[in-house]
Amino acid sequence: MTSSSSIAQLQKIIERHFASGPAAIGDPAAMIAFQSLRAALEAGEIRAASPDPASPTGWRVNAWVKQGILLGFRLGVLQELPSGGLSFIDKHTYPARHFGPADGVRIVPGGSSIRSGAFVASGVVCMPPMYINTGAYVDEGTMVDSHALVGSCAQIGKRVHLSAAAQIGGVLEPINASPVVIEDDVLVGGNCGVYEGAIVRKGAVLAAGTILTRGTPVFDLVNGTILRATDELPLIIPADAVVVPGSRAVTKGNGQQWGLSLYAAVIVKYRDDKTSLSTALEDLLR
């Protein structure tokens, strides 16, 4: 499936079966459509969200793709899914993916798993244990480090480093909502969490322990602004921003009296050549 016409045709079929609700269960045509969608996801021919310069966020959500992923859960039945001598019980529509040397994906032994319906490009390195969920898109040269999670429909760019225990949330529902997007050349530090459709622009650095959600205020010390999500837009971290975990004082009521502070993310600088040196170790590990 490479032509735009065949993708458009698949979209119509998926939308029809998704709209039919429980009637799709047991329908061979619905299963064939889902399997076509899953194969196209794994090949990177379709995505849950795509770059779109005309969009305010730079990304377009492909709601029909999310519908197709949800359709797969609806059609699936619980089944034993053996993998590498281990046994798992899950929907039969979403077994673990298997790779060969020709795929160019390095999966180091030690308990990692990539679910079917996820795209993982050549040159990606997976350090154990890590997990990539269905609908996710992980582009060339990215490293997914130990205990890192790439959630369903999350979009990960080229040459991204997801450090140990980084959690990239996926947004499968609601189907119109933008998934988490990590653009090219981003460094996500250890124990970071990026959730609820946040977008991290190209070249940004998230220091260890940084948490980003729709409700997280980000204080840009360089430009003197406060970045927040709105009703229309998710939280967006600017390109090349260096973000660290910080706090802000509670200035009212008991919080002030007790000297409490709340979590906040802080942009302390924008990336330069010196900051980029901190990622040089990645090249030695690939």
Neighbours of 70 (CB within 10 A): 17
Q: What confidence tier does 277 reach under pLDDT thresholds 50, 70, 90?
A: low
Q: What tens digit of pLDDT does each residue of 138-154 get?
A: 999 999 999 999 999 99
Query: Within its chain, how far is the Cα of 136 from the centroid?
Result: 6
Give the pLDDT score at 83.
73
Domains: count for the chain? 2
The answer to whether position 85 is within a domain reads no
3-state secondary structure (DSSP) of residue 155: strand
- Identify whether residues 27 and 103 lie together within a single domain: no
- Identify whether residues 114 and 249 lie together within a single domain: yes
**When comparing pLDDT for 280 and 172, which is higher?**
172
- Identify whether residues 67 and 108 lie together within a single domain: no
Q: What confidence tier does 5 reach under pLDDT thresholds 50, 70, 90?
A: confident
**Residue 11 is part of which domain span?**
4-79
The answer to whether position 103 is within a domain reads yes
Q: What tens digit of pLDDT does each residue of 154-181 get?
A: 999 999 999 999 999 989 988 889 999 9
3-state secondary structure (DSSP) of residue 164: coil
Q: Could you give phi then psi for residue 131, rounded to 5 degrees?
A: -145, 135
Q: Any idea how long the chain is?
A: 286
Q: What tens digit of pLDDT does each residue of 25-50 get?
A: 999 999 999 999 999 999 999 999 99
Percentage of the chain with pLDDT > 70? 94
The answer to whether position 91 is within a domain reads no
Distance CA 103, CA 105 (A): 6
282 has a pLDDT exceeding 70: no
**Sheet-wide strand order for 155-156:** 119-120, 137-138, 155-156, 181-182, 199-200, 236-237
Give the pLDDT score at 234.
96
Write down the pTM of the prediction. Answer: 0.94
Q: Compute the Cα dihedral for 53, 150, 197, 22 and give only its sign.
A: positive
